[in-house]
Structure 1
Amino acid sequence: MSYSNSNYATHSPALPSFLFLLADDIGWGDFSYNNGTALTPNIDAWAKRDGSVLLQDFHSGGTVCSPTRATILTGRHHFRDCVDFVYGCSDMSQCVPNFEFAPSKTFTVGDAVRTAFPEEYDGNGVFFAGKWHLGSFFNDSEAYGGTTSSPLTHGFNKMNATIEVAPTATLNCQCKAEWKKHCKFGHYHKPNHCFPEGECCFNYWWDDPMAPHGVTNLTWPTPLDDSLYLADAFSRFLEERSSSEKPFLAQISFHHCHIPFIASEKAKRDCAAGKTCRLPEKGEPLYTDQELDYYACLTELDNAVGIILRTVQEYGYYNNTMVWFATDNGPEHNCPPLGICQKADTHPHRPVEGPGSSGPLRGRKRDIYEGGHRVPGVVSYPSEVRGGNHITWETATTMDFLPTVMEMLNVERPENQRTWAMDGRSILPLLRNPTNFTWKETTEGVRSLGIAYRHHDRKVADGWGFRFGPWKYVHGSMSCTVAECQRPQLYNLDDDLGERHDLSAKHPDILANMTTQFNQWFHSVSKSRHEESKCRLADLLPLPGSSRTDSEIN
């Protein structure tokens, strides 16, 4: 059933509530409102509903999992707070993550609501559910070779979360021998994303001060569709919260549709039959089992989002809740040698390497080209967004969440962090006037945005980018392996959204200006690492095009 205007409760706490829905490894062109293969009626209807704004120039703060997750919390580029890349440690019984995320405790969105109104957002009012991927849940992780960095140490007071990557189906079925009969591996046919290779206990954990390490984990198997588990976890949270008639802040981070994406057989059959997916175009082969797993995974996510939105309305919160939806980066699998993944002939919707679509954009996950970080974005806030539904092509990013919350609640960062850099901006002015708003007419001027990718294997090339209005500077690419892609490039996204035409030779003056702006941003990031968050690995940030690190240029 699609999400629609139903007759639900209309009462709402006087203070606003906040909900961030984060999906995983899904491209700008994957939902049906952008001509995607999977039909996503709930998300489509919500994007078109009164009080909603569809953001077509929305960006994840990073090009991979952990970096983007940090930016939602801090409003800052992830390098500023020591999150350089991702770490592989999904099973706390095998490895306690030694993940350095803002050791000096950067102010987060959870801190913001609890600072502004400590009594109203008290107790269980700040909730995190789903994929964390920012460190260890143990409150004594240091005793096990790790670093304590959980939702509870970064502003949340209630959690129901996994450490990091986990399957989208029966994710903890290997945690007990008697649960193994529940395991569904889809087209993978075996456990996936488990390091070291073998069996992993991908389990949900929640806060429990009476338990060892301050957290406890699930003692029963999870369902076939993990997105339903998270929708149910949020529904139970909100039911309890509504009894107090107090506001909330929650982040729901889905595993859908990160590898390993595993859909139910029914969902795959419905997709193959054209009930929930566009059928292959004439002349195209039938969908592969991998594609069916992915597209059905998208429809499962859409169903869960619909449940969550209906729950928000059922308990009277919808009108005064600011809801954000985004994905953490573009879809998996890049396409060398040029980073252009979609066929240019008769099959425009079938990527060469794997399912998932960045639409007309170049690049995918890990890439500095738009397809790596321009992602689906929807924000609804009916009490402020007037005049129906809206579509905007003004730039926004996951880093804007915290500044927007801060403006709404009129709260500042603690005094010792007032001078710290902030990459995000409040989008409240955009939400209040989405039809006519433009960044260049604000006091802050044209929107700029720093973009970066760093792999945990230092032998892999870094990627750097910088946006200033329509202009895009690119230096380095995961997907483009030809020589010209490893030199500074310049694109005008107003005329060339797909980044096919490098203008660096035609406009050397603009390239020089963009390079200067990028270097200023880079030095600001370096200062944050050394003087603000004080990252242990601060000297590992390489200057683009150089073997020197930021510690050597300060």
Structure 2
Amino acid sequence: MNITPSLPSFLFLLVDDIGWADFSYNNGTALTPNIDAWAKDKNSLILQDFHSGGTVCSPTRATILTGRNHFRDCVDYVYGCDDMSICVPDFEFAPSRTFTVGDAVRTAHPEEYGDYGGAYFAGKWHLGSFFNDSEAYGGKTSSPLVHGFTKMNATVEVAPTATTNCQCKPEWRKDCQFGHYDGPNHCSPDGRCCFNYWWDDPLSAHGVTNLTWPTPPDDSLYLVDAFSRYMAERAQQKKPFLAQISFHNCHIPFIASKTAKVRCAKGETCRPPDPGSPPYTEKELDYYGCMTELDNAFGQVIEALKKHGYYDNTMIWFASDNGPEQNCPPDGICKKASISPQRPVEGPGSAGPLRGRKRDIYEGGHRVAGIVSFPPLIQGRGGMQVWETVVTFDFLPTVMELLNQTRPPSQQSWALDGRSIVALLKEPNNFQWNNTKEGPRSFGIGYYDPKQIISNGWGYRWGKWKYVQGSVSCNKKYCRKPQLFDLETDLGERHDLAEANPDVLRLLQQKFREWHASIMKSRQEESKCQKANLPLPLPTFMSEE
């Protein structure tokens, strides 16, 4: 075992399209013993009011890096270009180079730790082009290497959870695994599907190079291997690290191995179906098998941290980037997946009692599984559920406080949405945001697809109260009107209190106005977004005033 470095290390484990109630510690169907054991460890906290900063992939990824709402840094939606060999993403992310967590770690204590970070990014990037000469090909250079990181190993966007790059060469295609899909999706416009991994290589023509051999049948094992190799290098040097592993599990197409599916069907790795319910569908078996493979990969990450002596001084965040896939019209209230002829099969992921799913402004779209561990601060007081609000953009401020780091002078006046959770980790039994000088926790949330404005939505959280106007899953007329929910008594957002509490609604609408104005200022004066869809449209109640 190596000696733990004196400075802390930081690891963010991001999973994809997994619901708040999908892990077995939260009554999920797939059994996830490694994640459960870590969640209940004396130095871990289960954050039951944890939120992704966005309701889809790219936005949340931006918030983790910048500590800011994604709209501030020009990330409005997602961009469909998965094959860097034929299309170079023209994706605008923080064109003024917003200070990131990579920057915070890389520049901390430069007089002593100039090489502190060796910052590393593994998995799904989804925030722009990897080429360092992207502009020559009609795109924008926006890789991890220009956003504060010094190492990377990632796919540019969506990739399958098995045999990821199997279509990159004709001779590999015979080994492609597509599960119940029977073929790939998220392909490039011409039908090619080379979902390849890329890493930094200054000797390459574009500053990056890619895989020239097939990935294993379980993509998560490739990511764990890449991380473990990097961590071993840092341990040999006795230096701390920053890493983010963005697993593709369990974004569509989620693909489980045959063994994983058989074990789930037998009840070895899954809870059995409810009495009287039909057997799990192939889609469900793929999803639950994908989750058990994720759990296995997670267990290997924790084992590697302990083997190299890092675990006791590493802050680990674990979260999903948004709620589970497949929405539930007409009102966002989802039923359990079923093969009943009375209704179509819904997505196998579960948001539990929450209303809505991925893309929704309702809680199911952005309240996600969240766990944090850090032995030096929690000191054995963990192993519990905490209901104070935490968001993915809190990661950067927390890292900055631990490193006594500040943003550069040119950006110290820029808006920052995140708050450090150091105080929460120190006193999980007693901490309340309401008792801090900043007051109740508040943040805005939005879903904006410029091609489907009618489906977009906005919301604002302030303490226990939440204002919602519009949500993808709800196509009824009342959903276009302002709604107000008390999340302490109505976690499922079933009872609209707008008429009963008009003063509270007006207060949250005013706070939303101020937040929206702040977003627009950031876009125009800080990040200096150039996209044509500015300004972001306001909810109906505002545009009519």
TM-score (norm 2): 0.96
Residues 446 and 458 of structure 2 are in contact (CA less than 8 Å); yes or no, is this contact kept in structure 1? Answer: yes
* Corresponding residue number in structure 1 for 2:75: 83
Q: Distance in 1 between matches of 2:33 and 2:304?
A: 17
Shift of residue 269 of structure 1?
0.4
Choose the corresponding residue for 2:41, options 41, 49, 54: 49
What code does the residue aligned with 2:192 have? Answer: E
1:165 aligned onto 2:158: yes
* Corresponding residue number in structure 2 for 1:398: 392
* Corresponding residue number in structure 2 for 1:190: 183
Map Cα deviations across residues 389-418 of structure 1 (whole Å, 9 max, x no partner): 232000001000000000000111010100
* Corresponding residue number in structure 2 for 1:279: 272
* Corresponding residue number in structure 1 for 2:536: 541
Distance 1:124 1:448, change over 3 A: closer
1:492 aligned onto 2:486: yes
Map Cα deviations across residues 326-367 of structure 1 (whole Å, 9 max, x no partner): 00000000110010112599x9xx995111000000000000
* Corresponding residue number in structure 2 for 1:103: 95
* Corresponding residue number in structure 1 for 2:436: 442
* Corresponding residue number in structure 2 for 1:428: 422
* Corresponding residue number in structure 2 for 1:341: 334
Distance 1:18 1:121, change over 3 A: farther
What code does the residue aligned with 2:350 have? Answer: S
RMSD over aligned CA atoms reads 1.9
Q: Distance in 1 between matches of 2:252 and 2:371?
A: 24
SS in 2 for 1:116: coil
Distance 1:548 1:470, change over 3 A: closer
Q: Distance in 2 between matches of 1:254 and 1:153?
A: 21
* Corresponding residue number in structure 2 for 1:19: 11
Shift of residue 459 of structure 1?
3.9
* Corresponding residue number in structure 1 for 2:28: 36
Shift of residue 455 of structure 1?
1.0
Map Cα deviations across residues 188-236 of structure 1 (whole Å, 9 max, x no partner): 0012221326331100000000001000000100011101110111111
Residues 117 and 240 of structure 2 are in contact (CA less than 8 Å); yes or no, is this contact kept in structure 1? Answer: no
Residues 98 and 145 of structure 1 are in contact (CA less than 8 Å); yes or no, is this contact kept in structure 2? Answer: yes
Shift of residue 146 of structure 1?
0.2
Q: Distance in 2 between matches of 1:265 and 1:458?
A: 38
Residues 86 and 456 of structure 1 are in contact (CA less than 8 Å); yes or no, is this contact kept in structure 2? Answer: no
1:225 aligned onto 2:250: no
Choose the corresponding residue for 2:313, options 311, 320, 323: 320
What code does the residue aligned with 1:236 have? Answer: R
* Corresponding residue number in structure 2 for 1:523: 517
Q: Distance in 2 between matches of 1:58 and 1:10?
A: 33
Shift of residue 93 of structure 1?
1.4
Residues 56 and 77 of structure 2 are in contact (CA less than 8 Å); yes or no, is this contact kept in structure 1? Answer: yes
SS in 2 for 1:20: strand
Shift of residue 458 of structure 1?
4.4
Residues 20 and 324 of structure 1 are in contact (CA less than 8 Å); yes or no, is this contact kept in structure 2? Answer: yes
1:332 aligned onto 2:298: no
* Corresponding residue number in structure 2 for 1:6: none
Identical amino acids, percent of aligned pairs = 68
What code does the residue aligned with 2:198 have? Answer: W
Distance 1:223 1:448, change over 3 A: same
Residues 93 and 128 of structure 2 are in contact (CA less than 8 Å); yes or no, is this contact kept in structure 1? Answer: yes
Shift of residue 543 of structure 1?
1.3
Q: Distance in 2 between matches of 1:496 and 1:36?
A: 21
* Corresponding residue number in structure 2 for 1:359: 352
Residues 172 and 202 of structure 1 are in contact (CA less than 8 Å); yes or no, is this contact kept in structure 2? Answer: yes
Shift of residue 117 of structure 1?
2.9
Shift of residue 377 of structure 1?
0.3
Q: Distance in 2 between matches of 1:103 and 1:523?
A: 20
Q: Distance in 2 between matches of 1:231 and 1:539?
A: 40
- Is the deviation greater in 540-549 or in 468-477? 540-549
Map Cα deviations across residues 248-270 of structure 1 (whole Å, 9 max, x no partner): 00000010000010110000001
Shift of residue 120 of structure 1?
3.1
Q: Distance in 1 between matches of 2:317 and 2:323?
A: 17
Structure 2 spans left out of the alignment, 5+ residues: none
What code does the residue aligned with 2:359 have? Answer: R
Distance 1:548 1:195, change over 3 A: farther
SS in 2 for 1:44: helix
Choose the corresponding residue for 2:455, options 456, 461, 468: 461
* Corresponding residue number in structure 2 for 1:214: 207
1:295 aligned onto 2:250: no
What code does the residue aligned with 1:302 have? Answer: D
Q: Distance in 1 between matches of 2:366 and 2:508?
A: 19
* Corresponding residue number in structure 2 for 1:482: 476
SS in 2 for 1:383: helix
Residues 336 and 346 of structure 2 are in contact (CA less than 8 Å); yes or no, is this contact kept in structure 1? Answer: no
Structure 1 spans left out of the alignment, 5+ residues: 1-8
Map Cα deviations across residues 300-327 of structure 1 (whole Å, 9 max, x no partner): 1111111101111110011111000000
Distance 1:388 1:377, change over 3 A: closer
Distance 1:413 1:196, change over 3 A: same
Distance 1:547 1:497, change over 3 A: closer
* Corresponding residue number in structure 2 for 1:152: 145
Q: Distance in 2 between matches of 1:426 and 1:339?
A: 32
Q: How many aligned positions are there?
A: 540
1:415 aligned onto 2:403: no
* Corresponding residue number in structure 2 for 1:3: none
Q: Distance in 2 between matches of 1:253 and 1:29?
A: 20
Residues 138 and 215 of structure 1 are in contact (CA less than 8 Å); yes or no, is this contact kept in structure 2? Answer: yes
